[in-house]
C-alpha cells in the first residue's frame, strides 16, 4: 500500500483465537484510523507511527496490522517483513534525524503498555542520557514539532524504501 496518506486502512485482523480484535485495543484503533496517529511507514504487513511520549524525538512504534499480542504469537512468515521494516526505520531515523544509532525494544506481556505487539525504534546519540532500561519519557512540545519529525522520518523511509 505504501506510506499513509490519510485513508482509513481496511483491517482483516484476527486474534490468536481467530476473533476480530477487541474494540478496546488502542493499536487496532490506530490501524483502523479511529485514533490519532503520526504515521511514518505503512505497508501490507505493518504500520509505524511516532510515539506520543517519546524517549527522544523520532521514537517510533512499529506494529503488525493483524492483532498479535506478543512476538511469540506472530506467525513465522510475518517475522521477516516486519523486521525488514524495523531495519528500514532504524536507518531512516539515523538519516532523518542525524542520529548516531538506534535502540530497538519489544516487551512481551511484562511492561507491555498495549497488548498488541509493538517494536520501539528509538534514535540514539552518544551521551543522550538513556541508561539501560530506564526510559525518561517526554511529550513533544507542540503539534508542529511532532509533524516536523513525522515528515522528516517519512521522507527518509520513502527514499530508503524506493532504493530497495
Domain boundaries, the chain: 26-162
Does the pTM exceed 0.95? no
| pLDDT greater than 90 at residue 75 | yes
C-alpha cell at 36: 490519532
Q: What is the structure's pLDDT at 5?
A: 30
- pLDDT of 8 above 60: no
97: pLDDT confidence band, cut at 50, 70 and 90?
very high
Mean pLDDT of 88-92: 97
Q: Give the pLDDT confidence of 11-55 residue by residue, as tens digits.
A: 344 544 454 455 689 999 999 999 889 999 999 999 999 999 999
Domain made up of 26-162: CATH architecture: 2-Layer Sandwich (3.30)
Catalytic-labelled residue, pool 67, 116, 118, 120: 118
What residues contact residue 10 under an 8 Å CB cut-off, 6+ apart?
none
Q: Which residue has the higher pLDDT, 5 or 96?
A: 96
pLDDT of residue 106: 93
Mean pLDDT of 84-102: 97
Catalytic site includes residue 118? yes
Q: Are strands 119-124 and 101-105 parallel, antiparallel or unpaired?
A: antiparallel
104-157 residue pLDDT tens:
999 988 888 899 999 999 999 999 888 766 666 788 899 999 999 999 999 998
Helix-helix angle 143-162:76-97, to 10 degrees? 120
* Three-class HEC string of the chain: CCCCCCCCCCCCCCCCCCCCCCCCCHHHHHHCCCCCCCEEEECCCEEEEECCCCCCCCCEEEEECCCCCCHHHCCHHHHHHHHHHHHHHHHHHHHHHCCCEEEEECCCCCCCCCCCCCEEEEEECCCCCCECCECCCCCCCCHHHHHHHHHHHHHHHHHHHHCC
Amino acid at each position: 500500500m505504501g506510506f499513509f496518506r490519510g485513508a482509513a486502512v481496511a483491517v482483516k485482523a484476527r486474534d490468536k483465537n481467530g476473533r476480530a480484535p477487541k474494540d478496546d485495543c488502542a493499536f487496532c484503533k490506530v490501524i483502523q484510523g479511529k485514533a490519532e496517529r503520526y504515521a511514518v511507514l505503512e505497508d501490507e504487513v505493518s504500520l509505524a507511527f511516532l510515539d506520543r511520549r517519546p524517549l527522544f524525538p523520532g521514537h517510533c512504534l512499529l506494529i503488525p496490522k493483524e492483532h498479535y499480542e506478543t512476538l511469540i504469537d506472530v506467525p513465522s512468515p510475518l517475522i521477516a517483513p516486519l523486521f525488514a521494516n524495523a531495519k528500514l526505520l532504524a536507518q531512516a531515523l539515523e538519516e532523518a534525524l542525524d542520529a548516531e544509532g538506534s535502540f530497538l525494544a519489544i516487551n512481551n506481556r511484562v511492561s507491555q503498555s498495549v497488548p498488541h505487539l509493538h517494536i520501539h525504534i528509538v534514535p540514539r546519540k552518544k551521551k543522550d542520557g538513556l541508561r539501560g532500561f530506564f526510559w525518561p519519557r517526554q511529550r513533544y512540545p507542540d503539534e508542529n514539532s511532532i509533524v516536523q519529525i513525522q515528515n522528516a522520518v517519512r521522507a527518509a523511509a520513502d527514499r530508503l524504501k524506493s532504493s530497495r
